[in-house]
Chain A
Amino acid sequence: MSEHSLQSSQTIGIPLTHVVPSALEQDDLLLVAASKNGDQEAFAQLVQRYQRIVFNLVYRMLQHYEEATEITQETFLAAWQGLPSFRGDARFPTWLYRIAYNFSLKQLELRKRDRALQIALEAEKTLEQANDQQREDAELDAHDRRMLIQEHLSHLPSKYRIVLVLRHLQDMTYEEMAEILTMPIGTIKTHLFRARNLLKERIQSIYRDSDTG
């Protein structure tokens, strides 16, 4: 899978709260109000501001570049159409994330229904190849382990994947995640713990295999 990545200085591991300080929040409110009145230029500014973080969230959920592009478009289109119902109870990016997450889930459901989908098969094949490769190796280096985590991440249940993406790729707090996913903080914590445990156990099992093999 090709990574269309940027320089590390542009990594997304910056807290969203830092990316969007209060001045920007105020600006968001103005742009949202203008967009509600049909101002497409104002909405284009919101798209410009949030398309990267939305795209990355969707991409990490779907692990497929073209699908992520399509779902990001769907997300913003739904946001535009749903603007009249946006009352400003949550921050605009939080609301946007929620839409993006729901669309990603829908897309994953569609994939599930269509078992013959090429992407799923390819992803599975890649994972098996990666596992075999890793077992053959006496030692795992950092790069391999990262690749492995990436592969395992794409095979975790979506409820676990989303909390890992939000927590470690978007550096969100439990409270922010709870708001986006409309779940109690306790559930967020449980999902996060299980998700990290699963990743850890998989890495450990590969370590064990490479030690015994």
Chain B
Amino acid sequence: MRCKEASQQLQLYLDNRLTIEQVRSLEAHLISCNACREELIMFESVINDLESFKVVAEPDDLNEKIMRRVALAATQQAPSPSKFSLWRPSLLEILVAAALATVATIGTILQQPAIRSLLPVANGHDRLSLMFINLLHTLISVDSTTLILALWIAGTVLGVGITLIFAGSEMRTQWFKAMMERLPVR
């Protein structure tokens, strides 16, 4: 083996990339060639120096820092709850809102005595109207506290209902689940 060939194989030798025959041939050359042996020692020393570099400790809070950025990125990546999402109701919610609006409109119309008198019901003289008026009179005459309580309960139920309609289905499910968990009986 010539020195040129040996020199080309030295690094492969150190990386264990030579065949057994090549290793034998190279080692035989190294025994008899001082220059190649010195070159090998030099490569070995460079590699040893490189491999003697110690592992460097990362900052203690590296994981925390990374995960903080990941959490931030995850928030930005998540299907962003559009600011208009609250105003994108489902079909059912639209129907309920439409029903409420219809009732409110009818109520406003019925406030007009001229229109009300034309109706077969709720005109102030029929049985239904009289029953409603009697009930109202009873509530007022019996106890004003009862009336306030009734109005308070009705107002609360209405408020909760409207909030749940606009909160979206996910919030409604969570609310319902939380309520069920707090119930004393199942």
A contacts, CB < 8 Å to B:
3-6, 8, 10-13, 38, 40, 43-44, 47-48, 51-52, 55-56, 59-60, 65, 68-69, 72-73, 76-77, 80-81, 142, 145-146, 149-150, 153, 164, 167-169, 174, 192-193, 196, 199-200, 203-204
Q: Does B152 count as interface, using CB distance less than 8 angstroms? A: no
Q: Mask for B11-39, Cβ within 8 A of A = 1, else 0?
A: 10001010000000000000000000001
- Chain B contacts for A40, CB-based, 8 A: 67, 70-71, 74
- Chain A contacts for B42, CB-based, 8 A: 200, 203-204
**With the chains together, A8 CA to B70 CA distance in Å?**
32
Cβ–Cβ contact B46 & A69, under 8 A: no
Q: A168-B47, A200-B42, A203-B42 are in contact. Are A47 and B66 (CB under 8 A)?
A: yes
Q: A3-B56, A38-B74, A55-B58 are in contact. Are A47 and B67 (CB under 8 A)?
A: yes
13 contacts between A and B (CB under 8 A): A5-B55, A5-B56, A6-B54, A40-B67, A40-B71, A43-B67, A68-B56, A73-B66, A146-B53, A169-B53, A174-B15, A200-B46, A204-B42
B contacts, CB < 8 Å to A:
11, 15, 17, 39, 42-43, 45-47, 49-59, 62-63, 65-67, 69-71, 73-74, 77-78
- Nearest residue (CB) in B for A66 is B59
Q: A81-B73, A81-B77 are in contact. Are A73 and B65 (CB under 8 A)?
A: yes
- Chain B contacts for A73, CB-based, 8 A: 62, 65-66, 69
Picked from A8, A69, A146, A169, the residue with its CB within 8 Å of the CB of B58 is: A69
CB distance from A135 to the nearest CB of B (A): 19
- Chain A contacts for B54, CB-based, 8 A: 3, 5-6, 8, 11
**With the chains together, A160 CA to B11 CA distance in Å?**
15
CB distance from B51 to the nearest CB of A (A): 5
- Chain B contacts for A3, CB-based, 8 A: 54, 56
- Nearest residue (CB) in B for A60 is B53
**With the chains together, A72 CA to B56 CA distance in Å?**
13
- Chain A contacts for B70, CB-based, 8 A: 40, 43-44, 76-77, 80
**With the chains together, A159 CA to B111 CA distance in Å?**
86
Cβ–Cβ contact A145 & B45, under 8 A: yes
- Chain B contacts for A168, CB-based, 8 A: 47, 50-51
- Nearest residue (CB) in B for A38 is B74
Identify 15 new A-B residue pairs, CB closer than 8 A, beyond the known A72-B66, A80-B70, A174-B15.
Answer: A5-B55, A38-B78, A40-B67, A51-B62, A52-B57, A55-B58, A80-B73, A145-B45, A164-B50, A169-B51, A193-B11, A196-B11, A196-B43, A196-B46, A200-B43
**With the chains together, A145 CA to B63 CA distance in Å?**
34
- Chain B contacts for A69, CB-based, 8 A: 58-59, 62, 65
Cβ–Cβ contact A52 & B55, under 8 A: yes
- Chain A contacts for B71, CB-based, 8 A: 40
**With the chains together, A68 CA to B51 CA distance in Å?**
20
